[in-house]
Amino acid sequence: MINIMRNGKLNARSAAKDASHRRIVSAAARAIRRSGYDGTGVADIMKEAGLTHGAFYAHFPSREAMLAEAADRACAESAAAAAQAVASAPPERALEAMLRVYLSREHLEQVETGCPLVALGSETPRQAPEVRRATTQHIKTMVDLVARQLPDWGQPGAHERALVTVAAMAGTLLLARAVDEPVLSDRLREAALKRLMPVVT
């Protein structure tokens, strides 16, 4: 009976710690996209997660370890959103649906929950190897997702088109966020959609 009670307490403690860890990573994944890697501080993340600053080291050995997990989470969320857009459309319109979602005004405005490639691309080369690895894996996932929607999937030309498509998607959204003229921002997105659509039809 004593062992059962101890195990119950340990399991409850472990579950609570896991939940806290997930809150920290979720807060950090939003923060890095909002403020960049350099603008993301441990104290602010812990406060946003509803935890004390002192509890940080019970979850991570370093700030860099937290950033690496946050990058993983941000990339996973972005990949899931892209996959959902693909799954919501008929196969012959899947890539079109993905492009429309990615290059939408809604995605443009959703900095905290949007694509981390756009929010963090220029900072990533200066980050720890774990952060760069998460970014690299995300790019490869996105390229593979695009390539699988092309009629000649599996051929070298499809992979090359997928590389160009992903680069154009991220580059367009980055520029559309950077400019201070809404009309130009819209034209950038619309022009990219117009040029990328023939690739998928």
**What whole-number distance in Å separates Cα of residue 176 and Cα of residue 194?**
15
Angle value at C-alpha 61, between 57 and 66, nearest 5 degrees: 90
Burial of residue 12, with CB atoms counted within 10 A of its CB: 0-12 exposed, 13-18 middle, 19 or more buried: exposed
> Can you count the helices (H) and strands (E) in the chain?
9, 0
Q: Which CATH superfamily is domain 2-200 in?
A: Tetracycline Repressor, domain 2 (1.10.357.10)
Q: Where are the domains of the chain?
A: 2-200
pTM for the model stands at 0.85
Residue 160 binned pLDDT confidence (cut-offs 50, 70, 90)? very high
What is the Cα–Cα distance from 142 to 53, expressed in whole angstroms? 35
Question: To the nearest whole number, what is the mean pLDDT of the chain?
Answer: 90
CA distance 201 to 195: 11
Cα-Cα end-to-end distance for the chain: 66
Residue 87 is inside which H or E element, if any? helix 63-87
- Tell me, what's the pLDDT at 54? 86
Find how far residue 127's CA is from the centre of its chain: 16
Q: Provide mean pLDDT across the span 116-142.
A: 93
Structure tokens at 15: 């579950």
CA distances (Å), origin 38, targets 122, 180, 200: 12, 23, 38
DSSP 104: S
pLDDT tens for each residue of 53-87: 888 999 999 999 999 999 999 999 999 999 999 99
pLDDT of residue 38: 92
